[in-house]
């Protein structure tokens, strides 16, 4: 089956979990949307043509507003590609077939290609410097669980404190990628997930969303968004203007 319909009830299973095995292309659409009706035949044609190299999942935004809000859908059609539980690319609007095909070819394995397998000779760096640099690379790519494994039981030494500063971000991204609940408040849980989705592509949006959470979260639960923000600061580096801007705003909030 190359094409399915998904809802909020089965989004975790059909999109997040299945994207661990194959790319899942989610088409956020609505019945009243003219450009959606133009784009859908193109997506369905390519899904059948690629024949299992990706799964097309169609989600009606009118019937599933919470999922749409969670993933920052503001205009439709909005097409998002999920891999390993995360959005890795997207486009908005009724794009021509050639553009959609090119979009897919950037992320989907060619016909007959062997699935990527972990390389036995690509071992985790044993030195602290190598582990730290690879962990930061994974975090920039949104691969929280991979970064988490490198930062766990990090060797003692000059980089140990820096590695510990990154751990809240790794834990957060890993938890989101596994579909686990972040906040008991539904509205803040959605903002948390928007922040996680933005870290790889737009760190400023991630920091803004975390600041929103800090303003709205109860006092007992403010430490986590604060720690995640500080981890993003460590990832970006002190020289980044975003760090200077949001560090001042964070300091102004009474935790």
Q: Is 174 a catalytic residue?
A: no
Confirm if 147 and 139 have CB atoms less than 8 A apart: yes
Which run of H or of E encompasses 105?
helix 97-105
Of 107, 90, 117, which Cα lies nearest the Cα of 50? 107
Q: Is 33 a catalytic residue?
A: yes
Task: Please report the DSSP string for 172-226 in residue order.
Answer: HHHHHHTT----SSHHHHHHHHHHHHHHHH-HHHHHHHHHHHHHHS-GGG-HHHH
SS3 (DSSP) at 231? helix
Sign (positive or negative) of CA dihedral 12, 13, 14, 16: positive
Task: Please report the DSSP string for 34-99 in residue order.
Answer: HHHHHHHHHHHHHHHHHTTSSEEEEEETTT-HHHHHHTT--SSSEEEEEETTEEEEEEES---HHH
CA dist 219 and 241 (Å) reads: 28
Catalytic residue among 15, 16, 26, 36: 36
Of 115, 8, 19, which Cα lies nearest the Cα of 63? 8
Confirm if 28 and 36 have CB atoms less than 8 A apart: no
Catalytic residue among 6, 25, 33, 229: 33
Residues marked as catalytic: 33, 36
């Amino acid at each position: 089956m190359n094409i399915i319909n998904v809802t909020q009830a089965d989004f975790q299973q059909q999109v997040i979990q299945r994207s661990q095995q194959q790319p899942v292309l989610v088409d956020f659409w609505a019945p009243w949307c003219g450009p959606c009706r133009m784009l859908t035949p193109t997506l369905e044609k390519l899904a059948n043509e690629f024949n299992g190299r990706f799964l097309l999942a169609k989600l009606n935004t009118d019937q599933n507003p919470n999922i749409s809000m969670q993933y920052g859908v503001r205009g439709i059609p909005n097409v998002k590609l999920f891999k390993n539980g995360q959005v890795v690319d997207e486009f908005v609007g009724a794009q021509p077939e050639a553009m959609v095909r090119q979009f897919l070819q950037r992320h989907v394995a060619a016909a007959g290609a062997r699935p990527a397998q972990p390389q036995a000779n690509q071992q985790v760096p044993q030195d602290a410097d190598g582990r730290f640099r690879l962990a930061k690379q994974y975090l920039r790519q949104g691969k929280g669980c991979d970064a988490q494994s490198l930062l766990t039981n990090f060797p003692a030494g000059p980089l140990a404190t820096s590695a510990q500063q990154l751990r809240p971000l790794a834990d957060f991204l890993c938890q989101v990628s596994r579909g686990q609940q972040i906040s008991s408040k539904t509205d803040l849980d959605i903002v948390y997930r928007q922040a996680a989705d933005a870290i790889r592509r737009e760190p400023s949006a991630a920091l803004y969303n975390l600041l929103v959470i800090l303003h709205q979260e109860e006092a007992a639960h403010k430490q986590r968004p604060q720690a995640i923000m500080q981890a993003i600061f460590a990832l970006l580096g002190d020289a980044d203007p975003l760090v200077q801007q949001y560090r001042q705003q964070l300091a102004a909030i009474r935790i």
